[in-house]
Amino acid sequence: MAAAPLRIGLIGCGNNQRGAHLPRLAKCAERGEVVIVAGCDPLAENLAKVQEQVPGLVPYADHHALLAGEALDAVVISTPHTLHYQQILDSFAAGCHVLTEKPMCCSVAEARELLARRDALGKHLQIGYQRHFLGGYRWVRQQIASGAAGAVRFVTAWQAQDWLSGQLAKGGTWRIAAGLSGGGQLNDSGSHLVDIILWMTGLQPTAVSAAVDHRGQEVDILSAVTAECDGGAIASLSVIGESVLPFGEQIVIWCDHATFELVGFGDPVRVTWDSAKNQTLTVPPEERPHWSDPDANFVAALLGREPLEVPGECGLRTIALTAAAWEAARSGGRVSVER
């Protein structure tokens, strides 16, 4: 693996890059693990703002110029969804490891190509699903993976957000333009929900039925998805992108020997074991195994210190379920989930 400090480039310098990734990378820089060398964005105002956070950062108008102009070890991509696929491929070709925002890409074919190129070139590909590092989700995953809870039988989950009104209030952003977003709320905030359910439970969806309402937009705003999984488990997901709630979420997982409930971002997490049917326990914070964040883990993996926590396989299974839901909604039928 590369020796510290790693030379990092930023592809996309908008709000998410500046507000989420940069503060986390700054902590890595303080430890001498990385140097944030350059960034690219088509908007000069975004470049100016990121240069305020990273004095000396070299600005570029696009990722082609950045990759050609700098010798980088890795890039962090935070751009509109449909751009990820080509930007990841180009970064691999330039010799870079990649941390990309979700979704990794917008089709199963793209996901398979990215994993094939990653493996052929010996690169790391991390996805910015930060929930993998939060204690509530990690604790539930451990209970299910250990076998203590028995088999997963049913999952129900909903996520509600004033997502559409937020996009319209800004005059209509790229997130509701199908050519840039690749899909609506199911592919945006909903992508986190799909990923974390599959990651916690280990379920393998086989077929999907779905209903979608675009609410007059190019992309899905309201989605109801039912997934049949290996072993007979069923998962029911509702993603609501038109809500008076700024954000709300609940996940309930029914297993043979336990029921788990996670509220908000996995806090609180409550469990009822079959040995105590009338007693629901709230898992205390000290028992929930928190661990770093996607950026710190990405850097540690490149330095050979930790395994990568959110590899590209998470992106493949998430877009496989998402794409099957879109097709099921279009066809009005039951659609097989690609693997």
pLDDT digits (tens, 9 = 90+) for 275-332: 877 789 999 999 999 889 999 999 999 999 999 999 999 999 999 999 999 999 999 9
- What pLDDT was estimated at residue 1? 56
Alpha-carbon distance of 252 to 263, in angstroms, equals 9
Separation CA 102–CA 187 (nearest Å): 8
Three-state SS string over 25-72 comes to HHHHHHCCCEEEEEEECCCHHHHHHHHHHCCCCEEECCHHHHHHHCCC
Q: Band of the pLDDT at 85, cuts 50, 70, 90?
A: very high
pLDDT at 311: 98
Same domain, 147 and 108: no
Give tens-digit pLDDT for 103-113: 999 999 999 99
CATH classification at residue 272 = 3.30.360.10
Do residues 117 and 175 share a domain? no
Last residue of a domain, one of 130, 151, 178: 130
Distances (CA, A) of 227 to 40, 160, 237: 39, 19, 8
Last residue of a domain, one of 79, 111, 130: 130
Residues 149, 257, single domain; the answer is yes
Q: What is the pLDDT of residue 63?
A: 98
Query: Which of 130, 147, 166 is the last residue in one of the domains?
Result: 130
With 0-12 CB in 10 A as exposed, 13-18 as middle and 19+ as buried, what is 323? Answer: buried
* 217 assigned to some structural domain: yes
Would residue 318 count as lying in a domain?
yes
pLDDT at 339: 82
- Whether 89 and 218 map to the same domain: the answer is no
| pTM for the predicted model, two decimal places | 0.96
319 and 188 both lie in a single domain: yes
In whole angstroms, give the CA distance from residue 111 to residue 124. Answer: 14
Structure-token match 């690609």, residue found: 338
The model's confidence at residue 209, banded by pLDDT at 50, 70 and 90, is very high
Looking at the structure, tell me whether residues 63 and 179 fall in a common domain. Answer: no
Same domain for 187 and 110? Answer: no
What's the whole-number average pLDDT of the chain?
97
Q: Do both 193 and 324 map to the same domain?
A: yes
Residue 39 in this model has a pLDDT that exceeds 80: yes
Closest CA to 88 of 74, 108, 109: 74
The closest of 218, 132, 212 to 181, measured between CA atoms, is 218
In DSSP terms, 127 is beta-bridged to 100
Mean pLDDT of 36-54: 97
Domain of residue 155, residue span: 135-286+309-336
Judgement on whether residues 105 and 203 belong to the same structural domain of the protein? no
